[in-house]
Amino acid sequence: MDKSWMYADRRSREYEVGVEGFLKFAIENSRNVNLIHCPCIKCGNILQYVDMEDTDFGDSLNDPYEFLNVLGDGDKPLYPGSNVTKLTALVRLYNLKAKYGLSDSGFTDLLICFGEILPEGHHLPSSMYEANKTLHALGMDYEKIHACPNDCVLYRKDYDESTNCPRCGLSLWKIRKNGHVNEGVPAKVL
């Protein structure tokens, strides 16, 4: 198996294809599909991925072929003749959803709008539910964590129940222009 892809830029298509090929090879030749050897250059494929939690793989832990199917499906061009893949388009749109706090129904509307604009035969999902199935199979879920507006702490673990920053004293909640606290609306989200 050619290993030159391991030295390529991790953002390159060469690296992406190499990782896909490695995963396919590893699953097809593994005695236990839940223990795949590490593909890094340093260990030379000696170490195994261990101590992984089910949440690290999503539903694909029980079915690694589902992961490969989603990966292969994501490599399809967004529409015939496009240089952008379905997965690239979906991840970019999902990043916009997260960045601007777009609701699930708003994201579905956005997908529908793009679906009407794209040419016939496009592969963009038409709903948040379909998009989530693809991204979840790849382990690309995200979690919103409230944060102090001054970046002092994240409101999780020991600070999960806090409503004011233990370091600077600022409220977890957004303060309106009139000075009233807008409970339920976090001041900052990570």
pLDDT in 10s for each residue of the chain, 190 residues = 677 777 777 778 888 888 788 777 777 776 665 666 665 655 655 655 643 444 444 444 445 566 666 666 667 888 998 888 888 888 888 888 888 888 889 999 999 999 999 999 998 889 988 888 777 766 666 677 888 888 888 888 888 888 889 999 988 888 888 888 888 888 888 7
**Last-in-domain residue among 32, 51, 70:** 51
- Are residues 61 and 74 part of one domain? yes
Q: Same domain, yes or no, for 165 and 138?
A: no
Q: Which residues make beta-bridge pairs with 147?
A: 154
Mark whether 85 and 148 lie in a shared domain: no
Q: Final residue of a domain: which of 51, 74, 90?
A: 51
pLDDT for position 45 = 59
Angle value at C-alpha 61, between 93 and 98, nearest 5 degrees = 20
Question: What residues contact 59, with CB distance under 8 A and at least 6 apart?
Answer: 66, 136, 137
Same domain, 124 and 134: yes
Looking at the fold, whether 101 and 167 belong to one and the same domain comes out as: no
Range of the domain at 3: 1-51
Same domain, 158 and 190: yes
- Please indicate, yes or no, whether residues 122 and 62 belong to a single structural domain of this protein: yes
The total number of structural domains in the chain stands at 3
Contact 24, 32 (CB under 8 A): no
148 and 131 in a single domain? The answer is no
Same domain, 58 and 136: yes
**Same-domain status, 81 and 134:** yes
What's the token pair of residue 25? 């090879």
> Is 13 in the same domain as 33?
yes
103, 121, 142 — which closes off a domain?
A: 142
Over the range 156-188, which residues count as b (16 or more CB within 10 Å of their CB) and which as e? eeebeeeeebeeeeebbbeeeeeeeeeeeebbb
Whether residues 99 and 157 fall in one domain = no
